[in-house]
A and B are shown apart, each in its own frame.
With several copies, the nearest count.
Chain A
Amino acid sequence: MTPHAPAIIVNETMDSDHDDAPDNETSAVVTRHPHAERSHHLRILEAILFAATQPVGLDKLVGHLPANTDVAALLETLRENYANRGVNLVQLAGKYMFRTAEDMGFVLRKETTEQKRLSKAGLETLAIIAYHQPVTRAEIEDIRGVAISKGTLDILLDIGWAKMRGRRKSPGRPVTYGTTEAFMQQFGLNEITDLPGLQELKAAGLLDGNLPPG
């Protein structure tokens, strides 16, 4: 171990064996035998746990250190050493391993956004659901004049823009669909009655009947 300037080393090296002694003698690591030994044991545990491909049991760790070493206490020191670091020593099913800190999860995830557009059929179906909700599949098909594929509705349900609202009280009790909060957010609507152009479309005779609110 290379000698360092006082005070700094103890902290910077995170050496757990640094003392609370008032003189704060850092050379303690080198000169005070028990501490040096303890530090050496901590290093061994660190290296083993770091290189391990799986969590390591206490029994295995004990095997790498001299008999009568209080491995559990050393592990506790190590756990404390790493408690506030980007990597923590954790216990899984009673075994020990290093794990990136929970709040550091974001560095392990890469979020990519994929720009997509709905298919024409999807957009049309969504519009019909929005304007005619609650609306059954048969009614959507009636308005579109074409059958809709199962996938089209599924995509809308999957994105979270459409949802099942209930069942029509008619023979077969068909499921009805409506739009969601997420739909309102995506298209910048406060209420379903805000659908701009609705009145205009109605006045233009493009729509008939009454649109149920929300």
Chain B
Amino acid sequence: MTESPPTFPASDWPDGATDPRRNAAMADPDTLIVDVAGFEGPLDLLLELARQHKVDLARISIVALVDQYLAYMEKVRSLRLELAADYLVMAAWLAYLKSRLLIPLPPKEGEATAQDMAARLAFRLQRLQAMREASGQLMARPQLGREVFFRGAPEPLVIETQREYSDTLIDLLKVYAERRAKKMVRQSYTVKRQPVWSIKEARETLERLIGGMNEWGTFDVWLERYLATPELRRSVRASSFTASLELVREGVLELRQDTAFDQLYLRRRPTAA
């Protein structure tokens, strides 16, 4: 026990921090006692005791280990240090195990043999040790963001959404024809609401204009200012045409059309001046 402390591989303590407890323990096994709270449970303590033998855990003498544990417990007690209950439970179990190992008795019904119990303990120590080593190996691997890095300035995907319209010419024509048709229907049914130029109004207007109508001119020319309002156009044309026919019959106006559906011209009848 006076041998120089074993050096632990760097990988043993992945966080790289030295473990003051263990260093102290290695320097002088007796000082192991000082900080019992530093151990993570009785299994950890047992493993630490076992490791001090520097032997293969698979071939460790369980009896010797039990003795060491019990001696350790005794020392702790003599120093009146606080001990967690599970350390004492382990101590009791180990004491029982030792007695069974030393004085072989046929196991009771359903009870494992002392050898099996010892093997199980050895296995658990081995397994804990294996996990510690694995943890060390794992942590010693090059880690992302520590030793190895992904691209520092990745160029993330840009999503471009393209609108695609599925409207077709048929759709276009349909709505257009529909709208026009609707409008015609509405015009014929809501005619009362439309602003209307009455025939009387048209006649009065023509009579007012007639003095200046010396030359042939179309309705649109003579009635230009009344046609300015789009809603009134049809009505102005229709009413003034009707009124003009009256005035022609009365011999006040003359109408002229060169061919069918051609422009219609009107002027004051020269003799009527």
CB distance from B155 to the nearest CB of A (A): 4
Q: Closest chain B residue to A99 by CB distance?
A: B148
A residues 107-126 near B (Cβ < 8 Å) are: 108-118, 120-121, 123-124, 126
Q: Is the CB of A98 within 8 A of B151?
A: yes
Residues A212 and B143 in contact in the complex (CB < 8 Å), given A126-B138, A201-B180 = no
Q: Is the CB of B131 within 8 A of A127?
A: yes
Question: A11 on the interface (CB 8 Å rule)?
Answer: no
Q: Is the CB of B15 within 8 A of A206?
A: no
Q: Is the CB of B135 within 8 A of A126?
A: yes
Residues A51 and B155 in contact in the complex (CB < 8 Å), given A102-B148, A115-B164, A117-B165 = yes
Report how many residues on chain B are interfacial, defined by Cβ distance under 8 Å. 74
Q: Is the CB of A127 within 8 A of B176?
A: yes
Within 8 Å by CB of A187, from B119, B127, B143, lies B143
Q: Is the CB of B155 within 8 A of A207?
A: no
Q: Closest chain A residue to B186 by CB distance?
A: A145
Question: B224 on the interface (CB 8 Å rule)?
Answer: no
Within 8 Å by CB of B154, from A52, A159, A187, lies A52
Within 8 Å by CB of B162, from A101, A111, A121, A142, lies A111
Report how many residues on chain A are interfacial, defined by Cβ distance under 8 Å. 58
Within 8 Å by CB of A186, from B13, B167, B181, lies B167
Q: Is the CB of A212 within 8 A of B120?
A: yes
B residues 157-173 near A (Cβ < 8 Å) are: 157-169, 171-173
Question: A73 on the interface (CB 8 Å rule)?
Answer: no
- Which of the segments B36-44, B212-220, B260-268 contacts the partner chain? B36-44
Interface flags, B118-147, vs A, CB<8A=1, else 0: 111101101110111111011101111111
Q: Is the CB of A187 within 8 A of B41?
A: no
Residues A204 and B162 in contact in the complex (CB < 8 Å), given A52-B153, A102-B148, A186-B143 = no
CB distance from B66 to the nearest CB of A (A): 15
Give complex CA distance A142, B139 in Å: 22
Q: Is the CB of A123 within 8 A of B139?
A: yes
Q: Which residues of A contact B (CB under 8 A)?
A: 47, 50-54, 97-102, 104-105, 108-118, 120-121, 123-124, 126-128, 130-131, 142-147, 159, 185-189, 195-197, 201, 204-207, 211-214
Extra contacts besides A110-B145, A115-B166, A214-B116 (4): CB < 8 Å: A51-B152, A112-B160, A124-B131, A144-B128
